[in-house]
Amino acid sequence: MADTGPTPFELKVLRYVGIPEDRYDTYVRVEAPAGGLYVAQSGPVVTGAVLAAVVGTAREFEERHLAATGRSAVPGTATAPGVRPAVRTGRARQLRIDLAGVGLTDAESAVLDAVRSIPYGQLRPTSWVVREAGLQGAAVPDAEPPDAEPPGGALQDGVPRGRTAQMAAALARNPIQLLIPCHRVTDDEGVPHDAAYGGAVGAALREAEGISPERVRALVRTHTVFLGSDTTHIYCHPLCAHARRITPRHQVPFRSARDARRAGYRPCRSCRPLAA
């Protein structure tokens, strides 16, 4: 643990009466984009994180944490190792995070773990997250849905509706906000999923990573799902680090992986978009 300071009264009482530290969590508030972030931990493991824009007060965070985990959270003096650098840099993949105690389904946990792999300053669509999560019964990996929608409207955002619902539930229930960056997830048209904290907060989080709202809107408006280079004939997610290096005169927008394939383009090995 780091950043020690004066011990809060509640923590002193728990220690004085001999309550074992594994019976409760401690938390601190750290500064973050879009306001503060309450972060709970049990020793070196992060057990919860909620943006202050969502809960408003420390007391509300304590109540929410208790309801989610069944564990009390008391004000502490230190963050788990790596929390402050992760908040500052937006790179939290190496943090120790506990998703086991919050009642998530296996599918929801898999979704959130996949979301953790989305790079800072980039966005990924629903279909990519489904593939990375390895959800059974989802769209066939590295394949697009057929042109005709199955009977009964079984597809949504390019994946079966059941998987889309699981995605939405997982993103909305994200118990480790910001550190699991759901603000980097969009639907397959490029519209951000901000179910956990609303569009204004999501936009602020993305803008702090260099993703302007105007850029996101422009991609959605022009139906630019992928961006190719006419020099390399490789296509990427539009905010992939490689895509950002494509000069405007060499940019080739695509609405689908199928369109890119038909034009003779192959997927980027870095951002690994779905391949037709």
Mark whether 44 and 118 lie in a shared domain. Answer: no
Mean pLDDT of the chain, nearest integer: 85
pLDDT of residue 17: 59
- The answer as to whether 69 is a domain residue is yes
Name the domain boundary from 41, 65, 89.
Answer: 89
- At residue 108, the 3 state secondary structure works out as helix
Are 214 and 232 part of one and the same domain?
no
Would residue 181 count as lying in a domain?
yes
Give the domain-ending residue among 27, 58, 89. 89
Position of tokens 């989080």? 205
Residues 151 and 46 in one domain: no
Same domain, 249 and 152: no
Other beta carbons less than 10 A from residue 270's beta carbon = 15
Whether 2 is in a domain gets the answer no
Q: Pick from 62, 89, 116: which residue ends a domain?
A: 89
pTM: 0.84
On whether both 37 and 123 belong to a single domain, the answer is no
CATH number at residue 142: 1.10.10.10
Q: Do residue 200 and residue 130 come from a single domain? A: yes
Where is 156: in which H helix or E strand? strand 155-156
> In this structure, are residues 51 and 34 in contact, taking their beta carbons and an 8 Å threshold?
yes
Task: Report the number of distinct structural domains present in the chain.
Answer: 3
Strand 159-160 versus strand 155-156 pairing type: antiparallel
**Could you tell me how many helices (H) and strands (E) the chain has, helices first?**
10, 12
**C-alpha angle 110-127-148 in degrees, rounded to nearest 5:** 135
What tens digit of pLDDT does each residue of 60-86 get?
999 999 999 988 899 988 899 999 999
The answer to whether residue 251 sits within a structural domain is: yes
Confirm whether 272 is domain-assigned. Answer: no
Residue 14 confidence (pLDDT) above 60: no
Same domain? 67 vs 161: no
Q: Do 15 and 77 belong together in one domain?
A: yes
Return the closest-CA partner of residue 256 out of 121, 118, 139. Answer: 139
Domain assignment present for residue 133? The answer is yes
pLDDT band at residue 54 under the 50/70/90 scheme? very high
Tell me if 96 is assigned to some domain: no
Q: Do 55 and 124 lie in a common domain? A: no
- Per residue in 238-275, pLDDT (tens digit) is 999 999 999 999 999 999 999 999 999 999 999 999 88
Total length of the chain? 276
240: amino acid identity, one letter: C
- Is residue 152 scored above 60 in pLDDT? no
Q: Please check whether residues 112 and 211 belong to one and the same domain.
A: yes
Q: Print the domain residue range for 61.
A: 9-89
Decide: residue 260, CB within 10 A, 0-12 exposed, 13-18 middle, 19+ buried.
Answer: buried
Residue 98, in any domain of the structure? no
